[in-house]
Amino acid sequence: MRSAPSLVEAPCPSDVFDRLAGIAHRFALQRDLSGADDWIACERLHDPDSPELAAVLEAERVASGQVSDHATALTVMAVYAGTVTSAAMLAWALEDVVIDMRASNVAVRLSDHHGFEGYGLREVTVTAGAPVEVLVEQVLHQHLVPLVEAMHTRTRAGYRQLMGGAAHGCAAAFCLASRMGQDIDLLEERYDEFLSATDVGFEKLGRVVRLREGDREGLFYLRETCCLYYTSAEQSKCSSCCLDPVADRIANYRDVLRRGVVPH
């Protein structure tokens, strides 16, 4: 049995959340869940037989027009890790605080479109100056990895591919922020620290590269697994799709920097 790091929690100052939301919408966490009755407790998604997990998978299947249960699960995993838990990654990287984003403390709302309508905290608490092991324990071992296991059991989607979605989602927080005016040196250093602290094989599922074009620079993720989003009704590949050669992906990323756009 894993032993969780000892934590001393305290109320989280609102300016941390304001700064996160100011970087990009995906880092905006709701802190008052009383305004709607359709929040889904994320801990319920760890039960492969739960109606809540079925509802999440069905919502994505309908929204994206996926053709199979396992493709739907892979798509959900990629977008979930890249949005729902991403604020915790960035709060640790930039603010040196760990927002409590264990599944027992997070809820999501379904959307009519690809992804989620919202995600928020049941109780707003943080651990200031926490070591990276606290982040890994809360975000990976108490949230994303059990979700991977539940979706693997329910849909038989490949475990490695699901974990690849989790790895990509975690890295996406660092990569996106690096192209939104945040300290790229710090983000690169913190991502390497996070990756070194993980013990679930993330280092085998993709890598972050640092690219520069002119006066623009950014971090980009090169995936080694596929989320199968190209099999959806949209029939489009992610910018990080492993079906494209690495050289082509890097060329596309360099073009992204030249044009100054921020892809998903």
Q: Both tokens of residue 200? A: 């679930």
**Residue 245 located in a structural domain:** no
Return the DSSP state at 77: H
Within 10 A of 203 (CB to CB), how many other CB atoms are there?
Answer: 11
**Residue 262 located in a structural domain:** no
In terms of average pLDDT, the best of 68-72, 173-177, 241-245 is 173-177
Digit-coded pLDDT (tens) for 27-62? 999 998 987 789 999 999 999 999 999 999 999 899
pLDDT computed for residue 120 by the predictor = 95
Task: Categorize the per-residue pLDDT at 6 as very low, low, confident or very high, splitting at 50, 70 and 90.
Answer: very low
- 191 versus 260: the higher-pLDDT residue is 191
pLDDT computed for residue 222 by the predictor = 96
pLDDT computed for residue 67 by the predictor = 82
Weakest-pLDDT range from 103-107, 118-122, 227-231, 244-248? 227-231
Element (H, E) at 216: strand 216-223
Cα-based distances in Å from 198 to 137, 144, 155, 223, 241? 9, 12, 25, 17, 23
Weakest-pLDDT range from 164-168, 177-181, 230-234, 257-261? 230-234
Digit-coded pLDDT (tens) for 222-253? 999 987 777 776 777 777 788 889 999 999 99
Is residue 20's pLDDT more than 70?
yes
**Residue 250 located in a structural domain:** no
**Secondary-structure percent of the chain, ordered helix, strand, coil, rounded to 5:** 50, 15, 35
* Cα gap 152→69, rounded to integer Å: 10
pLDDT computed for residue 10 by the predictor = 45
Tell me the mean pLDDT in the region 174-180. Answer: 95
Digit-coded pLDDT (tens) for 250-260? 999 999 999 87
Is residue 14's pLDDT more than 70?
no
Q: Both tokens of residue 199? A: 């013990």
Count of domains forming the chain: 1
Q: Both tokens of residue 218? A: 């950014």
pLDDT computed for residue 8 by the predictor = 42
Is residue 263's pLDDT more than 60?
no
**Residue 210 located in a structural domain:** no
**Residue 144 located in a structural domain:** yes
Task: Categorize the per-residue pLDDT at 113 as very low, low, confident or very high, splitting at 50, 70 and 90.
Answer: confident
Which CATH number goes with the domain that contains 64? 1.10.510.40
**Residue 36 located in a structural domain:** yes
Is residue 5's pLDDT more than 60?
no
Tell me the mean pLDDT in the region 119-133. Answer: 92
**Residue 167 located in a structural domain:** yes
Domain of residue 76: give its range.
10-202
pLDDT computed for residue 261 by the predictor = 67
Tell me the mean pLDDT in the region 79-92. Answer: 95
Beta-carbon-side half-sphere exposure of residue 164 (alpha carbons within 13 Å)? 23
**Residue 261 located in a structural domain:** no
